[in-house]
Chains A and B, each alone.
Chain A
Amino acid sequence: MSPLKWQKELGRDGYRVNFSGQPVAMHCHHYNINLQKTLERTLGEQGVRLLYRSAEEAIYKDFKSILGQYESIKTEKSKFEMAALMFQNSGMGVIRQQEMGPDGGVFVSPSNHHVTGWLAKHGRRDTPGCHFVRGWLAGIMEAIYDRPMGYYAVEERQCKMMKRSECVFVVKVRNNGD
Chain B
Amino acid sequence: MAIDGNKIIHAVMEGGRIRDSKGIIPLFGVYLSIFSVNYYNKLSYEFEKMLGNRKWEAEALLVDAAQECGYATFQGVRNSWEWEEIVKPMIDRKEDQIEGFSAVAFAFGWGNLRVKELIPGEMLTIQAAGSYEASGYMDQYQKSRSGKCYMLRGVTGAMMDLLYGEDYPDGCFTFSAEEHLCRAKGDEYCEFIARRPSD
Contact = CB atoms under 8 A, between A and B. Distances in A.
A31 B32 CA distance: 10
B130 A15 contact: yes
Contact of B34 (A14, A19, A59): A19
B141 interface: no
Interface string B38-50: 1110110011001
Interface string B1-40: 0000000010011001101011111000011111111111
A90 B9 CA distance: 17
Q: Interface size bucket, A side?
A: 35 or more
Nearest to B139: A23
B174 interface: no
A10 B16 contact: yes
A90 B61 contact: no
A25 interface: yes
B39 A58 contact: yes
A-side interface mostly: helix
A155 to B, nearest CB: 21
Interface stretch (B91-99, B107-115, B117-125): B107-115
A87 B23 contact: yes
Nearest to A94: B23
Contacts of A55: 39
Contact of A46 (B33, B50, B108): B50
Contacts of A91: 16, 19, 23-25, 31-34
A111 B33 CA distance: 13
Interface in A54-104: 54-55, 57-59, 61-62, 87-94
Nearest to A43: B50
